[in-house]
Amino acid sequence: MATRDAGAVPGGWQVQRIRIGDTDYPYYYGIDCLDLVLQELAALDTDLFVVVTDDTVLGLHGQALLPGLRALARVEVISHPPGESMKTLPVLTADLERVLAAGATRRSVVIGLGGGVPGNLAGVIAALLFRGVRLVHIPTTTTAAMDSVLSLKQAINSTIGKNHIGTYLPPYAVFTDVALLATLPDRELRSGLCEAAKNCLAIRPQTLPRLRAVLADGELSAPEALLWLLDESVRAKSSVTVNDAREQRTGLVLEYGHTVGHAVELADHRRRGSDGVSHGEAIAFGMVVAATIAHRRGWLSEDVVQLHEEVVGALGAPLRLPEGITVDTVMDVVRDDNKRGYLPPCTESIAFVLLRDLGSPAGDPELPLVAVLLSEIREALEVVQERQPVLTGADDNGRAELG
C-alpha cells in the first residue's frame, strides 16, 4: 500500500512510498517543483539520461527540463509524434539501437517524460537495456500521474492488439509537478481523470461524493483538486496491488472498463491516428458498457448505470461510440483482449471485469474476472448506442458539452 512520510519534503513537495508486492519506490509530488526534481536526479550519478517523450510534450516542457539535465550529464532525447504509433516493435528496435549508439551503459537512466504512451515505451527500453537500467517517470498528464506510473507493467503494442508485448520493471522514482498537469488542455485534463473516476467506482466508492462535488465545481485544474485526485488514485491502486505486483490477481480490478475501452481506443487510433479518442475517454466509455452488461445480468441497478453515465459525461468523455466506429469494428478488436488465458478458453466468451455493486467486482476476490459472452458485449454496445444520454447538454456523439 502507499504510506505518506511524516510531513512534507523540505522545499515544498510530499512523498509517498509505493509498495507493490516486494517492490518499494518513492513517489514525489508538489507544485512548481522541477528544481527539486533536478536535485534528486543529480544524486543518481549517471553517465547518460535517455529522455523518452513525444513531440508535443517536448515542445511544451523540454526547455524547462533539458537544460538542467544537461548540466548534470549527457542527454539523449528520443521523441516521436504523439500517439499509439510509438508503441510498436519497429520503433522500439530503432530506439534501442540509437540509445546504444549514444553510449548507454548500466549506469544510464531512462526518463519517461509525458503521458502513458512515452512512459510505457521508456519502461520497455529501460527493462531491455543491459537486462534492466534505472527508470524514472516524470508524468505530464493526469492519466500517467494517476494511473500508469502506479504500476510495474511496461508494454508496447503488437499488430494484433494493445499491450501484448512487455515486462515488469519498477521505476526508481516518480516525480510529478502538478503545475504541469494544470497546463493541460481541458479535454486532455478531463480524459486523464477518467482513470481516477474508475478507481472511485470500482475500488473506493466512499470517495464518490467528493468526486461528484469536484466535477460539479468544474475547477479540475485547481492544484487542490488535482492533489486530492492524485492522492486518491495512489490509495486506490496501492490497495489492490500491494500483494499483487504483476496485477494478475486482485489488481485485475484495475482493468475495469478496459476490455471494450482498449478496443475502442485502438480502433479509433487506427482510423484517425492521434486525433482519435484518448485512452481515458475510451476507458470511461468501456465502464458504461461494463455497467450495462452487469445491469442486464441483474447485478447493477439502473441508478448505478446512470451514475456511471453521469460521471463519464461530466468528464467530457463519450457516451456513445466515436463517429465512424461501429459495433462490428469494436467486436473485431475486443476478441484479442490481453486478458486471454486467465479463465478457461472459450471461443464464445472473454474475461471481463464486472461489478456486482460499486466497489465490489464479480468473480473470485483473488481473480475478479468473469466470462462474458461475445453476444452479451455486442448487445450491450447496441443498447448504449441507442440509449438517450443522461446529460441534456450532450452533443451528437454523446459527449457532454461542458462550459
Catalytic residue numbers, as ranges: 153, 255
H helices present in 135-204, as ranges: 142-143, 178-182, 186-202
And the C-alpha cell for 235? 490509495
CB 48 within 8 A of CB 104: yes
Decide if 289 contacts 383 (C-beta within 8 A): no
Q: Say how far apart CA 124 and CA 118 lie, in whole Å.
A: 10
- H helix or E strand, kind and range, residue 83: none
The sheet carrying 134-139 orders its strands as: 2-4, 13-20, 23-30, 173-177, 134-139, 109-114, 48-54, 74-80
Backbone angles phi, psi at 68, to 5 degrees: -65, -40
**Secondary structure of 354-376 in the HEC alphabet?**
CEEECCEECCECCECCEEEEHHH
Rounded CA-CA distance 10/24 in Å is 21
